[in-house]
Amino acid sequence: MKSYAALLSLLLVLGADIGLGQEQYDYDDAGAADDDEKGGKHEVPSFNVQPMVFNPTVGETVNIPCTSGTKYDSALLMKRRYFDDSKAEQLISGDTFFFVKDDRYSIQDNVFTITNVRKSDSGYYSCTYQTPDMNINVTHTLDVYFSATVKPEHKIIEAIKGDKADLDCNADGNPKPTITWTKQGGKMPSGEAQERGTSIIFEEVDRHVHGTYECLAQNGVGEPAKGTREVVVFYPPEIRTEKEIVHTGNGDKVELVCVVHANPAAEVQWTHDNKPVDRDTMAEVHEGGHRHLLTIEQVSEADFGVYQCSASNKYGAVFEEIKLTDAPSAPAITSDPHSAEESSYTLTWTTESYYPITAYTITYRKTKANESTDEPGEWMEIAEDVAEGAQDAGPSRSFERTVADLERATDYDGVLVIRNSVKPSADVTFNFSTRKALPPTSLIQLGDNKDALAGMDKETAGGHRHPNAAASASLSASLLSLCLFRLLSIASQ
């Protein structure tokens, strides 16, 4: 009979909730309130708990208290409202009667329990006493934590060179996960090992963006989640030659190499002096591209000339040239342009030649013939033969030659030409200068020594000398030398 009475009371309260529009009273302090009813005092229900926030992890149990210090005749209601307000407030229970059937729900001693909590359990839970005049509430917050997830785990993004590409990790989790991006097999296009952010945007993709990126989402709950975003960039061929000029000779074996990057893969062809090459060629994967080799087992006179490596796919075509020659390379000057000597300059250089260098010619002249004109001086020439035993075995060879009888503190222009037994190299121009004369260190120090110079005036009258007279005489002679040196310096300018 008692349970029927309680149920009847509950239905009456619910009916009042629907039809009468009672005043709402949110309870946030323990205690009680008095109300007048028919001239007497009536105790208003109250809670002895404050609003609380619960953060269980998915699968755990949470106990939500709706306790009070007194047992009331009014029915205790449990209501739920979702965070996003997408659904209306839901009545879960009244006392021990459940309107929402869920085996995970229970209530005992005014404590509402949810076992094996789910993400969908998150929301605001209101403990409510409903009277004819008002509702008394205490509202708790249930914010369920769950580990990070990434959806989809794998995604392919296709783009053409120059297009914009967005990589979104699309991670979920509570608390909100942090996202870290890395690129499989290398660094990010920015050069960094990793980057942070929910997404990555490439404004204009190129072949360096091509690859698989991994996003790692973690929030401290459970294990981190991983996802991959594979970026496929379609682009026209790009070619790089390992050498623009190959120096060789009759009987030598050479490989002409061009490295091609393209997507889709490019068709590669070789030509020699604008004619198709009828030799076997080979391609191998190299640094993410294809390394195309044209091998000549024994070079002959007919093999010299310009070779062209061309590549094409549906997005474009490109070519690079490689020159095969028996001439030596233009010499590379390796000496400092400022000579350490006043009247000479040592010129050093390197070259590459299959055949030994047989001779060289150095021509040089003063940049300005004299101080009164901007016209250059007359050309001077040094022409010498080179013995084969006086040079490196090759093909890289080093040389040096000292140019003597130069004027000090003078700028010079020069031209260097070398040749091997077959052909000369291209001309190379260079500039150099001789060192200016420097005064002896002792005279410079003397010129700056005012105390020593002042001591020269300390000789006594009548032929008698100061005790430091010998030193003063020496200093006088040094001073005279210094004056003569400075006069000569001025005259030479």
CA distance 360 to 32: 112
Q: Output the CA angle 225-210-283, nearest 5 degrees.
A: 130
Per-residue pLDDT band at 42 (split at 50, 70, 90):
low
Lowest mean per-residue pLDDT among 203-207, 288-292, 330-334:
288-292
pLDDT at 18 over 60: no
Give the residue-averaged pLDDT of 284-304. 82
Contacts of 264 (CB under 8 A, 6+ apart): 234, 313, 314
pLDDT, tens digit, for every residue of 388-400?
A: 777 877 789 999 9
CA distance 121 to 61: 11
Lowest mean per-residue pLDDT among 159-168, 270-279, 339-348:
270-279
CA distances from 304 to 245, 298, 359 (A): 11, 12, 23
pLDDT, tens digit, for every residue of 191-208?
A: 999 999 999 999 999 999
Strand order in the sheet with 380-385: 380-385, 357-366, 411-420, 428-433
Q: What is the DSSP string of 252-266?
A: --EEEEEEEEEESPP
Phi, psi of 72 (to 5 degrees): -110, 155
Query: Does residue 454 sit in helix, strand or coil?
Result: helix
pLDDT at 485 over 80: no
Phi, psi of 470 (to 5 degrees): -60, -45
Give the model's pLDDT for residue 50.
94
CA distance 405 to 343: 6
pLDDT, tens digit, for every residue of 439-460?
A: 665 444 544 554 544 444 444 3
Q: Output the CA angle 136-140-141, nearest 5 degrees.
A: 145
pLDDT at 155 over 90: yes
pTM of the model: 0.67
pLDDT, tens digit, for every residue of 121-133?
A: 999 999 999 877 7
